[in-house]
Structure 1
Amino acid sequence: MPSDTTKEEEETVVYKTPFPLTGEEVSNAGRRYRLPAKNDFLAFRNYADSLEGYSLRCNRPNDTIVWSKKVKGESLNVVKVFSVYPGVDPQTMYDMLQDGLYRVVWDTYRIEAFCIVQLSPNTDIGYYAAKSPATGVTNRDFVNQRAWHSAGNGEFIIFNTSVPHRDVPTNYLKANKISSDSVVRGFSKITGYLIRPWEDKGTKGCCLTYVTQCDVGGWIPTMVMNYVTTKASPNTVKTVRGAVAGFTEWVPKQSDYQRTWTSDPDPFDVPSLENITIQFAKEKWAGESGSS
């Protein structure tokens, strides 16, 4: 994408992702952004599927498992949520999570959200501002570089990481008279979804692995944020469950519906793929009838 500044004047964005982005660089608004390569999506898949270092925090048999992980040298934990959706096709889940128009319908915390710039066919930079779910806590906003990939066989990946962009300064909402409330700029080191088919005991559908390491900023102590994030994660699953159910009813009512995010499946160039989290869930739930 063309830049309005010379290469010498451009700032190279430094990424904080737990794995490097290795694609080509592109210029926009005075900065050099790095695109993800195909192998970076595989790196995210492996990252999201791994259970190394995680501690189990919540187990709802045949529904949801939540883990958290401490990262050496960092105060913020990584939180991972695995959930199953019987009867929901992986493509439907992927489309629902990608659809910005439908998000207006189901995301009750949304203040403003839009695409700032499309960097490549499967990468963009977007703005998202959300109401705080807690009284007395300031609203948050994020500027995230987001990327997505269809890996074939019902597997899809979406992940984001926060980046700067000059079109959305920290006073964006007030400056554009969208909201007079104060807002704190948050930072997503990594947040993403791994969508895969799910089949167990004759039941088919999809499963969703959600992983996040996110600093919401402001005055909230890290210890409190780690606790709240872990406890609130099952509520995210509940929201997604309701949203995907409504999505199947919403789509047919759209007269000119377009999936701008679709692409031909591009499987990873590896002999086989592990499904560590899926296997763990099946084994753990096999002998359980209650919840913990």
Structure 2
Amino acid sequence: MEVGLVKIAEDSDFRKLKTLVDDNTNWKLEYSKNDETKVWTQMVHGCDFKMVKIHAVLNSILPDTVFDVLHDPAYRKEWDLHMIESTEIGYLNPNNDVGYYAVSCPAPLKNRDFVLQRSWLDMGEEKLILNHSIHHKCYPPKKGFVRAASHLTGFVIRSCPRGTFLGYVSHTDPRGKLPPWLVNKITQIFAPKMVKQLRKAVEGYNHWKARQQNPDFKPWTYPEQMMLAPRISITDCVESHKTSANSLTRDSDYD
């Protein structure tokens, strides 16, 4: 998927995601713990920022629960410690939506935000989620944030003998004026912590969901519920030259 391009995900996009997760050729193993969590990195041609990949096994957890946790915006507010704001902008079709996400960064860095198109495919024993950055006219870059770019971020969720296999891959440019070595180092350190945080979130999800006013509301699973959200027009996602220039806000402490 190309940054800025609004496009309904195709089978080839999901195949690419699975290949990135499953094929370890040209990947460097950076971290391994008890065969339950592994982290790899890979250099990307023409880019200073590495792609990162995680394999994790979530014991005694069902793939459906992991899929729900990664989708449910209300629950994300409960477990994502770095999230500042998450807004569902609307949907393109029952398997593609658009959202805004803002995340805190440690000082002296500015906080980052994204506008993301998310696509998913549920095939029962295997579930796929991927996203990439696009533009939306109602969510231009704003003061105090650096508009980061996800070239590709995705999850592969599969049933396995011990519970659920979770594959994660991300190639994200934080933008701003940051030393690539710093970004790459932080990414390697953050990846195992993300798995630990997600594992804890998954363990508490079903209890949390059962206490909600509408526990059966899962538009990522029930397409008819998606129709309650606004329908996205492609014309609202065309980036102007002025908006593009504004997205190059810098971390002033590194200027």
- TM-score band by shorter chain is 0.7 to 0.9
Q: Which residue of 2 aligns with 1:107?
A: 80
Report how far residue 211 of structure 1 moved.
Answer: 0.5
Shift of 1:145: 0.8
Aligned counterpart for 1:164 among listed residues 135, 139, 148: 135
After TM superposition, the runs of 4+ consecutive aligned structure 1 residues lying more than 4 A away are none
1:184 aligns with 2:146: yes
User: What SS does structure 1 have at the residue aligned with 2:102?
Assistant: strand
* Alpha-carbon shift at residue 54 of structure 1 (Å): 0.1
The AA in structure 1 aligned to 2:90 is V
Larger Rg: 1
**Alpha-carbon distance between aligned partners in 2 of 1:157 and 1:263, rounded to the nearest angstrom:** 16
Letter in 1 for 2:151: K
Of 158, 177, 180, 1:196 maps to 158
- Equivalence for 2:250: none
Q: Does the 8 Å contact 1:189/1:214 carry over to 2?
A: yes
Q: Which amino acid aligns with 1:259?
A: K
**Cα pair distance change 1:32/1:40, threshold 3 Å:** closer
CA RMSD of aligned residues (A): 1.7
Equivalent of residue 78 in structure 1, options 43, 51, 59? 51
> CA 1:95 to 1:220, structure 2 compared with 1: closer, same or farther past 3 Å?
same
2:118 to 127, 146, 149: 146
Alignment of 1:30-69 (within 5 A): 33-69=6-42
Structure 1 alignment gaps of length 5 or more: 1-13, 17-30, 175-181, 265-292
Tell me, yes or no, if the aligned pair for 1:150 and 1:263 is still in contact at 8 Å.
Answer: no
CA change 1:56–1:215 in 2 (3 A) is same
**Contact between 2:6 and 2:117, CA under 8 Å: does it hold in 1?**
no
Q: Relative contact order (alpha carbons < 8 A, sep ≥ 6): 1 or 2 greater?
A: 2
* Unaligned stretches of 5+ residues in structure 2: 224-255
1:222 corresponds to: 180
How do 1:8-23 and structure 2 match up within 5 A? 15-16=2-3
- Return the alpha-carbon distance in structure 1 between the equivalents of residues 64 and 29 of structure 2: 29
Report the counterpart of residue 94 of structure 1 in structure 2. 67
- Aligned equivalents of 1:32, 1:184: Cα separation in 2: 20
- Cα deviation for residue 263 of structure 1 reads 5.6
Using structure 2 for the length normalisation, give the TM-score: 0.82
What is the CA–CA distance in structure 1 between the aligned matches of 2:40 and 2:65, rounded to whole Å? 26
Whole-Å Cα distance in 1 between the matches of residues 27 and 35 of structure 2?
20
Report the Cα offset of residue 167 of structure 1.
1.1
Verify: 1:256 aligned to 2:227, yes or no: no
